[in-house]
């Protein structure tokens, strides 16, 4: 998104799956999973690097069958930007209170669902969801994974 | 040469003693090849037995002289009666008692298989079924999923697993019905679990469609009043529990979509496991039996 008026959806390093009315995106670089609702997914799809925000609003209006304000598109773009789902970072149009105010304002006026990008981080390793074990030979360090506590704190050989 | 046979009880086939008392055997489980070397026939036999039990009979013998296994383990004994354990290419730990060493071996074997399984996706979750549909309860170790699964089983749910939801590409969940890992005297060992039959329950033998996913955490005194998530939001909540996600994201996401996009996904805090089991039983009767 070198020119924020012409946002480009990121494609590299992403795994994408569509489910009814939503799009799932898994970021291989950050191990983050994102769920784009229908509105956010549509905006993301229209971010082709050639269409301006007003043009995207127009495409969206046509697809949704109702007038869509530019600010609603900006709300989606800000979230896509926050989630690293656009080619390049740009200054957000709405931040903090300004975003909350925009959500309130657009939400009242909009006939379509506000764009939502929900995100969660996956653990880096399956080890992260397992218990730790202590090495009771020469020290008391937990050795199974990096996220284990540094000392054995449950029983003589098991740290959880 | 130590013969361990090639029966159902000993599916790895023969265990070879190559140099002195060194023993090596290899097997494949869920598409993952594993080799194990030990410095004694008895030790090799014990390792073989716990591996066999840990994989619930899903192992297939490989010829250790022919296979280049994806994962290797070395276990050796010390004169003082303790053992050294190596997960090849990762780490070594020493001076463990036999029981602890076997436990560590089993735990890491399960991790390797669940991470690298071919054509399967392992989700860290408890699984039961009621009314012909599975209920998946994702959760990390210590999250209380075994307790919840046990309570469901006591109330008539069919037992699938207290550790993994094993998903196939067609979206079905398959049994991984090990003995339930219920804490015993403050020390929890996966090999000392309680067979589901001792709880008055039955273990599933067939794969099944997923009817619901229950995302929950224990909160003392909480009342189960979950929100229902959209399929997409539900799936991303399951992703952190999806073991091969960081290794094979594309396939994992496809399988999660296939398994969960039609499931009811509930999220909320719970109180006692017994109370939630009653709620889930009622929910299953109302909602899951009518799912197409």
Residue A126 DSSP code: G
pLDDT grade for A97, boundaries at 50, 70 and 90:
low
Residue B64 DSSP code: T
| Nearest residue on chain A to B107, alpha-carbon basis | A130
The whole-number pLDDT of residue B181 equals: 83
Pairing mode, if any, of strands B59-62 and B23-29? antiparallel
Reading the block at residue B29, the tokens are 């489980």
Domain ranges of chain B: 16-116, 121-288
Distance CA A81, CA A2 (A): 12
CB atoms A157 and B257 under 8 Å: no
pLDDT greater than 90 at residue A105: no
Cβ neighbours for A49, distance < 8 A, ≥ 6 positions apart:
A6, A7, A8, A87
CA neighbor of B271 nearest in space, from B220, B213, B207? B220
For the stretch A18-33, pLDDT in tens is 999 999 999 999 999 9
Q: Is B183 on the interface with A (CB under 8 A)?
A: no
CB atoms A120 and B232 under 8 Å: no
Q: Is B202 on the interface with A (CB under 8 A)?
A: no
Domain ranges of chain A: 14-121, 126-160
The whole-number pLDDT of residue B143 equals: 79
Chain A residues closer than 8 Å to B261 by CB: 19-20
Identify any residues that bridge with B126 across adjacent strands, giving them in sequence order. Answer: B137
Rounded to 5 degrees, what are φ and ψ at B63? Answer: -80, 115
DSSP per-residue string spanning B128-160: EEETTEEEEEE--TTSSHHHHHHHHHHTTPEEE
The whole-number pLDDT of residue A141 equals: 46
Q: Exposed (0-12), middle (13-18) or buried (19+): which is B206, by Cβ within 10 Å?
A: exposed
Q: Does domain B121-288 have CATH number 3.40.50.300?
A: yes
For B253-264, the three-class secondary structure string (H helix, E strand, C coil) is HHHHHHHHCCCE
The whole-number pLDDT of residue B1 equals: 34
CB atoms B246 and A122 under 8 Å: yes
Mean pLDDT of B6-10: 41
Mean pLDDT of A26-48: 95
Cβ neighbours for A131, distance < 8 A, ≥ 6 positions apart:
A144, A158, A159, A160, B107, B141, B142
Residue A132 DSSP code: E
């Amino acid at each position: 998104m070198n020119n924020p008026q012409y946002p480009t959806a990121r494609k590299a390093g992403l795994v994408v799956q569509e489910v009814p009315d939503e799009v799932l995106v898994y970021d291989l670089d950050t191990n983050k999973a994102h769920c784009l609702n229908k509105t956010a997914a549509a905006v993301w799809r229209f971010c082709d690097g050639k269409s301006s925000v007003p043009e995207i609003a127009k495409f969206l209006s046509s697809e949704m069958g109702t007038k869509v304000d530019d600010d609603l598109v900006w709300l989606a773009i800000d979230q896509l930007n926050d989630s690293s789902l656009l080619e390049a970072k740009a200054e957000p149009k709405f931040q903090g209170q300004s975003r909350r105010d925009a959500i309130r304002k657009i939400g009242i006026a909009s006939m379509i669902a506000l764009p939502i990008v929900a995100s969660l981080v996956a653990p880096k390793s399956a080890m992260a969801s397992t218990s730790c074990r202590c090495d009771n030979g020469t020290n008391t360090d937990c050795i199974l994974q990096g996220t284990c506590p540094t000392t054995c704190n449950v029983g003589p050989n098991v740290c959880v | 040469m130590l013969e361990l046979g090639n029966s159902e009880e000993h599916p790895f086939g023969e265990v070879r003693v190559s140099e002195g008392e060194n023993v090596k055997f290899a097997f494949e489980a869920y598409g993952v090849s594993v080799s194990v070397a030990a410095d004694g026939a008895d030790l090799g036999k014990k390792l073989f037995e716990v591996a066999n039990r840990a994989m619930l009979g899903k192992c297939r013998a490989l010829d250790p002289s022919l296979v280049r296994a994806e994962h290797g383990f070395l276990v050796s004994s010390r004169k003082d009666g303790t053992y050294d354990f190596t997960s090849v290419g990762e780490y070594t730990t020493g001076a463990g008692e036999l029981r602890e060493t076997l436990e560590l071996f089993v735990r890491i074997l399960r991790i390797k298989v669940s991470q690298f399984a071919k054509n399967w996706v392992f989700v860290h979750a408890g699984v039961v079924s009621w009314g012909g549909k599975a209920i998946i309860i994702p959760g990390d170790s210590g999250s209380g999923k075994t307790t919840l699964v046990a309570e469901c089983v006591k109330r008539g749910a069919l037992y699938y697993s207290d550790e993994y939801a094993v998903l196939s590409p067609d979206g079905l969940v398959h049994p991984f019905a090990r003995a339930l890992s219920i804490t015993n005297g403050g020390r929890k060992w996966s090999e000392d679990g309680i067979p589901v039959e001792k709880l008055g329950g039955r273990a599933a033998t067939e794969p099944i469609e997923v009817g619901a996913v229950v995302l929950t955490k224990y909160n003392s005194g909480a009342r189960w009043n979950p929100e229902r998530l959209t399929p997409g939001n539900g799936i991303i909540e399951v992703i952190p529990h999806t073991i091969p996600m960081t290794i094979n994201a594309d396939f994992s996401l496809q399988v999660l979509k296939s398994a969960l996009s039609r499931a009811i996904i509930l999220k909320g805090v719970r109180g006692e496991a017994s109370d939630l089991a009653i709620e889930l039983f009622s929910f299953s009767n109302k909602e899951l039996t009518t799912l197409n």
